[in-house]
Each structure stands twice: as structure tokens, then as C-alpha cells.
Amino acid sequence: MGRERFPEATKLLITADAGGSNGHRVRAWKVELAKLAADTGLEITVIHYPPGTSKWNEIEHRMFSFISMNWRGRPLTSYRTIVELISATTTETGLTIRAELDTDFYPKGVVVTDKELDALPLTRHEWHGDWNYSLHPTANAQSTQR
């Protein structure tokens, strides 16, 4: 979707919470982003919200409240139902949501070693490099694939 709308893009900015599967300490998150950078040729910059501040994430306020209103009172009986209800969500100002079910398998317990982490094409930013960093589109990222 992004490639169609922004075919000349060379960079991608991701804002993320500090916890969960995309947290600033999650090594697998960084490995997968490095793979994405290599696959797309995009430099990916990640800026994590400090712990406890995700409540100020604008997209949560613009999107999730409308999703909740859209599926209110409807039984969420299957993944298909959930995806369809999310996809049918719109706002009066024209916000629409695209949702797809990801059926890929993601194994649990994958360990990323210090050596693998150090090999990533990752540059930490000067200010809070633990929360703010860029992954560069190099072939080195492919060597971390399992």
C-alpha cells in the first residue's frame, strides 16, 4: 500500500510503544525490521514513545475509538469477523482503515544473540539511542534470517 502511494520514498518512520512485541528492548523486532529494510531498500527509523506515554499516540485516538464503536455489541466470533469490522470502520472526516489477516507462523522463543544484534545495520540516534534508531537497507540484514 505504501509503495503504491509513495513510490519514490527512501525512508520509513515508525513510531512505536516502548513495550510489547515492538518494544525498544525486543531483539527480534529489530532483526525483522532489518530484514524489511533490506527487502524494501528503505531506511527505517524507529522512534519509541517513552514508557507510559503511549496514551498520547495520535493514531490510537484517531483509530481505535472508532473501531471500538464499529464493533460494539457484535460478537467477535472469528478472525474474519474482526478483520471485516475493522476494515469497515470510517470516520466523518474521511479516515478509513485497511486490515488484513496475517496467517504467517511466528515461532516463540527465538533467541537473538549479542553477535546477531551487533551485526544489524543499526545506527542509534544521539538522543536516547535506546529508543531512537535507524536500520539501513544493506545485505547484512539478510544474513540474520533463520
| Bridge partners of residue 134, in order along the sequence | 45, 123
DSSP 105: -
pLDDT confidence of residue 125: 95
Cβ–Cβ under 8 Å, residues 43 and 136: yes
Q: Is 130 exposed, middle or buried (0-12, 13-18, 19+ CB in 10 A)?
A: exposed
pTM: 0.75
pLDDT confidence of residue 36: 95
Best CA proximity match to 16, nearest among 30, 34, 37, 4: 30
pLDDT higher than 80, residue 98:
yes
pLDDT higher than 60, residue 140:
no
pLDDT confidence of residue 142: 46
The rounded mean pLDDT for the chain is 86
pLDDT higher than 60, residue 141:
no
User: Coil, strand, or helix at residue 123?
Assistant: strand
User: Coil, strand, or helix at residue 33?
Assistant: helix
pLDDT confidence of residue 139: 60
User: Coil, strand, or helix at residue 121?
Assistant: coil
The pLDDT tens digits of the residues spanning 36-79 come to 999 999 999 999 988 777 666 676 677 888 888 888 888 999 99
